[in-house]
Amino acid sequence: MMPTAHRRLLFLLLALFSAGSILIASAIGSVMLDWSQWLTAMTDSTSEFGELLWRLRLPRAAAAWTVGALLSLSGCLMQVLLRNPLADPYILGVSGGASFAALLGMTLGVAASILPALAWAGALVSILIVFSLSRGEGPWSGTRLLLTGVVTASGWAALISLLLTLGPDSSLRGMLFWLIGDLSYARLPYWALAILIAVFLACFGMARSLNVLAMGETTARLLGEPTRKLLWLIYLLASVLTATAVSVAGNIGFVGLIVPHLMRLLVGSDHRILLPAAAMFGGLFLVLSDTLARTVVAPRQLPVGVVTALLGVPLFLLLLNRARVKQ
Amino acid sequence: MSVLSCEQTDVRIAGIQVVNKLDLEIRQGQFWGLLGPNGIGKTTLLKCLAGLEQPAAGRILLESRAISELPRKLLARHIGMLQQHTVYVFDSSVLQTALTGRHPHLAYWEREGAEDFEKASTALKVVGLEGFENRSVTGLSGGEARRLAFATLLVQEPEIMLLDEPTNHLDLRHQVEIMGMIHARTQAGSHSAFAALHDINLAARYCSHVIMLFGDGAWCAGRKEDILDESSLEKLYNCPVERLESASGPRFHPAAG
């Protein structure tokens, strides 16, 4: 158990680092701002770099933070839902449906501004398919949900490959960036932030139930949880989080798998601490990854999904190894 | 006052009727031992009593209300169950796991208070896990995990304790201690217990009542003095049994030959 003082310090630090990461992201890029330029730009949005800061970098950094938090939260929920530490936000096919819809839109040449809505609609179709097929009568079956989700995801993957094969070459690059996950065109959508806050509050409110559920469905029922209802609620909440993240930024990988794990290693598995910690760390991790994605080969930009994987994998393996040594 | 009872309850496993029209009342002050060979439906019966499964026919009542109609949270304040196996997938500390026993007593948004921590520490002390508070549950031995599960049940404070082979994985001393604890609580009149057991002599020593499941649907239940004898045990396990007298009552052993 983490003492209250430690918990507060942890949250304070993560909040500070989150804010810091967004400020750093606003100063760094293909145009590097020094201290005085940055200060002028911050205080005066009509100044030389003010527009760059307020119209491009800050909205993008805020979008990155929101997406990182959405994915990490979704990952935490999926892991409890399936009681499997390998579960990630994409495992049940939500992102597959979103990707297929978005890529179809690109193939047909719809306006980029419509793509998020299209992706959300695709995700919703996938959520409903998996929900209705795996619901069935009888007790909760995590295995049935997992299999239905994984198979649905494979179905979407096949359709996506089909689109990639048949689609016009001109849209391939856009599609590829979307599939890897890219924040180049992302601006902070307030609806995504609203969904993040609403779902976070709902999950935080039932964090103790999540703790009990992590011990197994039967144990949770014996401790007074109506688990069937709770598990479907978690499925829907996690899916909404994933759908929102994917609609904004495409399939950014590894954040939703690695951040929940990292946080479990660092703060333990009490969801009252884990959920806020994972959300904030996921946010700042994605802001920093995106900043790297913009700067490493500037003025060219990498899709952020490449950077999250390149950063996340070694970081995760290192921490996992250290945790084992400690035990 | 909490009485858990079965009315004309049938239990089926894979279509085979293993318990036929069971009538049973588990009253405060009683410690029931549930005996029967492997695979006879002991766990299924326990699950029905805990409301985890529906019996094939008949009703399970808490006082006068069918448990299938009571909210789980209310049930969890009155009925607790020690499961046969406890598997921890996610890491957690021993103290945090014991504290989950308070879950049914707290509102959704509520945090555990000093009193809840006190109850958890006391329970850990009682099962001999003092000093284990910050240890990881995934690193516990089988017996330690078993005692932690029992401590969690104590923290839950149900008047009715259902126990599926509570002495699994426990060494002799801890078997005696845990059975003694259940015995003491039921003797005090505030609790009742219903435990599936494989050790006839633990039942003979600690239980007040015994129920035997014969597998063909037949059962017999009552005070242990009336039920436990060589002939019923031989029929139950299909194995010759001899009776020895000890200072604390009869003991039963497999007969030689």
Contact check, Cβ <8 Å, A222/B50: yes
Contact assignment for B89 to A225 by CB distance below 8 Å:
no
Number of neighbouring beta carbons within 10 Å of residue A269 = 27
Interatomic CA distance for residues A180 and A306, integer angstroms:
7
Preferred mutation among B48, B74, B89 to probe A, highest tally of A CBs within 10 A: B89
| Exposed / middle / buried, residue A135 (Cβ in 10 Å: 0-12, 13-18, 19+) | middle
Residue A138 pLDDT more than 80?
Answer: no
- pLDDT of B257 reads 61
- The domain limits of chain A are 63-326
Q: Give the Cα separation of A239 and A253 in Å (integer).
A: 16
Look at residue B1 and tell me whether its pLDDT is greater than 60.
Answer: no
Q: Tell which residue, B224, B242, B131, B145, has the closest CA to residue B186.
A: B224
What is the tens place of the pLDDT at every residue in B117-175? Answer: 999 999 999 999 999 999 999 889 999 999 999 999 999 999 999 999 999 999 999 99
Query: How far off is chain B from A83, nearest CA to CA, in Å?
Result: 7
CB B33 within 8 A of CB B207: yes
Share the mean pLDDT of chain B: 93
Domains of chain B: 4-254 (3.40.50.300)
Rounded to whole angstroms, the maximal C-alpha distance in chain B is 63
* Interface contact B89-A85, CB threshold 8 A: yes
DSSP A89: T
For residue A282, which of A296, A264, A298 has the smallest C-alpha distance?
Answer: A264
Check residue B215 and report its DSSP letter. S
Sorting pLDDT into bands at 50, 70 and 90, what band is A18?
very high
**pLDDT at residue A52 tops 60:** yes
Q: Do B100 and A225 touch (CB under 8 A)?
A: no
Query: Is A131 a residue whose pLDDT tops 60?
Result: yes
Residue A197 tokens read as 């806050």
Alpha-carbon gap, residue B152 to A12, rounded angstroms? 33
pLDDT-derived band at B220, boundaries 50, 70, 90 = very high
At A143 the three-state DSSP class reads helix
User: Strand, coil or helix: what is A84?
Assistant: coil
Q: May I ask the CATH architecture of the domain A63-326? A: Orthogonal Bundle (1.10)
Is A143 or A68 the better-scoring residue by pLDDT? A68
HEC string for A255-320: HHHHHHHHHHHHHCCCHHHHHHHHHHHHHHHHHHHHHHHHHCCCCCCCCHHHHHHHHHHHHHHHHH
A116 in Cβ contact with A248 (< 8 Å): yes
Q: Does A211 touch chain B (CB under 8 A)?
A: yes
Q: Which of A19-28, A182-191, A282-291, B2-11 has the lowest mean pLDDT?
A: A182-191
For residue A43, name the pLDDT band (cuts at 50, 70, 90): confident
Phi and psi, residue B33, nearest 5°: -110, 130
pLDDT tens for each residue of A105-122: 998 888 888 889 999 999
What global pTM score does this model have?
0.91
Kindly report the number of other CB atoms within 10 A of residue A75's CB atom. Answer: 28
